[in-house]
Structure 1
Amino acid sequence: MTKLILMHKADSIYDDEPDVVYDFPRAYLKAVQEAVGDWVIYYEPVKAGPRGYFAVARVSEVIEKPGAEGRYLALIEPGSFLPFDREVPRLLDGRPLETALSAPDGAPKKGGAVQSAVRRLPETDFARIINLGLPQELEYMEAVRYDLHTPALQDEALIFDRPVLERLTRRPYRDIAFRRKVREAYGYRCAMSGLQLRNGGGRPEVQAAHIRPVEKQGSDSVRNGLALSGTLHWMFDRGLISVAEDCETILVSRNKVPDDVVGRLIRPDGKLVPPLDIRNAPHPANLRWHRENVFGQAVLNEGTPWG
């Protein structure tokens, strides 16, 4: 097995969906086959945008792309994709983070490997990029984020030194990383009510909802998330509300949700608030899964938040 860098462009001719599949030509087949069962880091090239290294995932299988001679698909292991908490720049102090892209004097190389869409990645480079994008103190950072009376990160006794791979697979860590990215994507505003509420300490009163749950092979991609208030999150998980095929109209199970509740909780125009970056908009496939498997199937035997 080997770790890789996978170049991804949103407007590419290749049918990539980073949390599901990576589409690539035959020239990279050997390298990608070596990565089956191992981790890859996604990288956005300079001409495609500013992100640099932006996510990590694990390859589960490589198959030929149906109907496309010379093209292959790397299937991403369900539940393995995780966006970085902070995107990692291509250069740090003017030097590449990948050893293969560095000249002997540490300066960036030009051409050659730099242009390659698939690059092998040494373990040390992998760990360095992960530590920058998904810091091991992330859980502590989130716990004290809005607590003005808690000491900053110098209290190292409160930070567990977890190996990189344990961090990537540990559910509590992934939940925090997902929550931070989804709430940030929507500007800490509920996507269905439009409200941006904070408590007295400044903590946002908005949650991150998985559209397709992780236990149902949903991912931790921002495109599988919605920022929702607590009540709307509860309603969404129980199938009382969903999103229509146009990916913006809010659907309500009218036989289970009173009109006055809809009027208080849902935006007057009945449309989702879009994320700040449209690339983070909910993926149509995830919304379709929710409509087909969750919406309208609620059995309200546990009471409701509105009494």
Structure 2
Amino acid sequence: MVKLVLLHKADSIYEDEPDVVYDFPRSYLKAVEAAVGDWIVYYEPVKAGPRGYFAVAKIDRVIPKPGVEGRFLAMIAPGSFLPFDREVPRLMQGRPMEAALTEPDGSPKKGGAVQLAVRRLPEADFARIVNRGLPQELEQIEATRYDPQPAELAEGTQTFERPVLERLTRRPYRDVAFRRKVREAYGHRCAMSGLMLRNGGGRPEVQAAHIRPVESQGSDSVRNGLALSGTLHWMFDRGLVSVADDCETILVSHNKVPGDVVGRLLAPDGKLVLPEDPRNAPNPENLRWHRENVFGRGMPDGPTPWGGAG
């Protein structure tokens, strides 16, 4: 197995969905097949946008692309995709992050490997890029973001050093990374109410909801997330609200949710507040999955956030 850099351009002729599938031509087949079961780093080239290295994922298998001669699909292992907390530029202090793109004097190479859409990535380069994009101390950064000394972090506590791959598969770390990216994408505003609420310390009250849960093979992509208030997150997970196939109209299970509750909780126009960057908009397939598998499935037992039993 080998690690790779995979070039991704949103407006390309190749139909990539980075957390699901990578579309590529036959010329890269041998290289991608060698990476099955290992990790890759996604890279956006300079001419396509400013992101640079922006996510990691693991390749599960490679299959021919149905109906397209000479094209193949690298299927991404469910639950492996994770966007970087901070995107990593191709150059740091004028020196490329990849050794293969570096001249002996440290300057960037031109042409050749630089033009490849699929590049081998040595372990050291992989670790260096991931450590910049997903810092070791991310959980501590988040815990102290609005409270310099939260109760759960005793004075003098040091971040436990975890290997890169352990970090990438550790659920608490992934939850923090997902929450930060989703809330940032929506400007810390609830996608269904349109409200941006903060507590007395400035901490945003909005939560990050998975549209398709991780346990149902949902990913940690921002496109599988919605920023929601605590009550709407509860309602969304229990199928009381969803989003229509136009990807913006909020659906409500009216026989289970009182009308006055709808009026208090949802934006007046009944539309989803979408991220400013369209690349972060909810994936229509994830929304379809929620409508078909969660929405309207039944009222949960017990008390509801608006009072009374379900």
Q: Does 1:219 align with 2:229?
A: no
Between the aligned partners of 2:302 and 2:23, the Cα distance in structure 1 is: 45
Question: 2:112 is matched with which residue?
Answer: 112
Q: Aligned letter for 1:291?
A: R
1:265 shift after superposition:
0.2
Question: 2:121 is matched with which residue?
Answer: 121
1:303 shift after superposition:
1.6
- Write the mapping of 1:36-75 to structure 2, written as runs, cut at 5 A: 36-75=36-75
Q: What is the SS of the residue equivalent to 1:12?
A: coil
C-alpha contact 1:212 1:224 (8 A) present in aligned 2:
yes
Between the aligned partners of 2:183 and 2:19, the Cα distance in structure 1 is: 19
> Deviation string for 1:208-228 (max 9, x for gaps)?
000000000000000000000
Question: 1:29 is matched with which residue?
Answer: 29
Q: What is the SS of the residue equivalent to 1:36?
A: coil
After alignment, is 139-148 or 288-297 more displaced?
139-148
Length, aligned pairs only: 305
Question: 1:16 is matched with which residue?
Answer: 16
C-alpha contact 1:54 1:84 (8 A) present in aligned 2:
yes
Structure 1 portions without partners, runs of 5+: none
Question: 1:3 is matched with which residue?
Answer: 3
Q: Aligned letter for 2:89?
A: P
Question: 2:236 is matched with which residue?
Answer: 236
C-alpha contact 1:140 1:158 (8 A) present in aligned 2:
no
Question: 2:132 is matched with which residue?
Answer: 132
Q: What is the SS of the residue equivalent to 1:158?
A: coil
Between the aligned partners of 2:233 and 2:279, the Cα distance in structure 1 is: 22
Q: TM-score, normalised by structure 1?
A: 0.98
Structure 2 portions without partners, runs of 5+: none
- Write the mapping of 1:122-271 to structure 2, written as runs, cut at 5 A: 122-149=122-149, 157-271=157-271
| Identical residues among aligned pairs (%) | 79
1:237 shift after superposition:
0.1
1:298 shift after superposition:
2.5
> Deviation string for 1:128-172 (max 9, x for gaps)?
000000001000111111014469x9x774201000000000000
C-alpha contact 1:239 1:294 (8 A) present in aligned 2:
yes
Question: 1:273 is matched with which residue?
Answer: 273
Question: 1:297 is matched with which residue?
Answer: 297
Q: What is the SS of the residue equivalent to 1:74?
A: strand
Q: Aligned letter for 1:72?
A: F
Between the aligned partners of 2:170 and 2:61, the Cα distance in structure 1 is: 22
Between the aligned partners of 1:156 and 1:93, the Cα distance in structure 2 is: 32
C-alpha contact 2:5 2:121 (8 A) present in aligned 1:
yes
1:185 shift after superposition:
0.2
Between the aligned partners of 1:149 and 1:120, the Cα distance in structure 2 is: 42
- Write the mapping of 1:58-97 to structure 2, written as runs, cut at 5 A: 58-97=58-97
C-alpha contact 2:60 2:77 (8 A) present in aligned 1:
yes
Runs of 4+ in 1 over 4 A off after TM superposition: none
Tell me how large the CA RMSD over aligned residues is. 1.3
1:65 shift after superposition:
0.7
Q: TM-score, normalised by structure 2?
A: 0.97
